[in-house]
Chain A
Amino acid sequence: MTEARFTSSKKLTIIWIILIILTLSSALVGYFKLSGLYIVGFVLLTVIIKGQMIIDYYMGLKNVRGYWRLAMLGFIFVIPAIIYTGYVLSSSLTF
């Protein structure tokens, strides 16, 4: 029981560290004012990974019954996908 508790809070801490690292990677993109579709794709990928971690482990939906997890993941996958499509289309319009 004690072991299980320790593992669970340890997992939350490891996820927090990963979230911080991913955020700092996006911060570096901002700091160096990088732009372009590859950069946009990279940043949006970090958004999807971060979102999935928050939904699964912080919200606790990883093993939940029903379609709530899918609905939540829908937001974090579909919105970045639409954003990326918008950026691709707008960049192709400028050339």
Chain B
Amino acid sequence: MSEVVSEVADNVIEEKEPLPGDLAIWFFIMAELLVFGVFFIVYVFVRSNNLELFNTFQLKLHREAGVINTLALITSSYFVAMGVHAIKNNNIKQTGRMLLLALAMGFVFLFVKIWEYSHIFGAGIHLSTNTFYTFYISLTFFHFMHVMMGMVILGALYYYLKQGVYSAENHRGIETGASYWHMVDLVWIVLFPLVYIIR
């Protein structure tokens, strides 16, 4: 009886998989999510004391640009996930294609965001225009920097892939970079409705 229980327990343990990528990236991701989480909570707290101001200026944002960027990041995450799937199957060419497509979506995000900033700054709006714009600019720019960092990582992954570093047996680096990129996406799917949509 005890042998059966032990065998079942072993099977249950075997069903669980190890953490994808390096352990360090997960501590880093948790730290990043904590920082963004605090930022979001402060936004909600400050908004509750400036309700009219936030509701008024939120409507002046380019919601369509926010939607395009959300679609771009989600699609980019999809390509990265497909890239990880491809490398696990030792499909190097497909992995490369997926990383390039993910990078292309990253460029779409950057292009739209820069276009959005150029309109806002062109209208004479800056960090100290009002509290809403202080949050809007600092939150989105902080995230923008993370997107750029993520794109550097995706570029490096592509470079090392072409150098023959990654394979089905050795794909931890790709999983690590992919996890970071998904974190960037995860933050945006909270940031986008908070800043652009909900009132």
Contact = CB atoms under 8 A, between A and B. Distances in A.
B48 interface: yes
A86 B175 CA distance: 36
A24 B66 CA distance: 11
B19 A86 contact: no
Interface residues of B, number: 51
Interface in A19-47: 19-20, 23-24, 26-27, 29-31, 33, 35, 39-40, 43-44, 46-47
B130 interface: no
Chain A contact patch, size range:
35 or more
A16 B75 contact: yes
A59 B179 contact: yes
Contacts of B179: 59
Interface in B41-66: 41, 44-45, 47-48, 51, 55, 59, 63, 66
Contact of A16 (B16, B17, B37, B78): B78
A19 B76 CA distance: 12
Contact of B182 (A26, A58, A86): A58
Contacts of A44: 193, 198
B30 interface: yes
Nearest to A75: B33
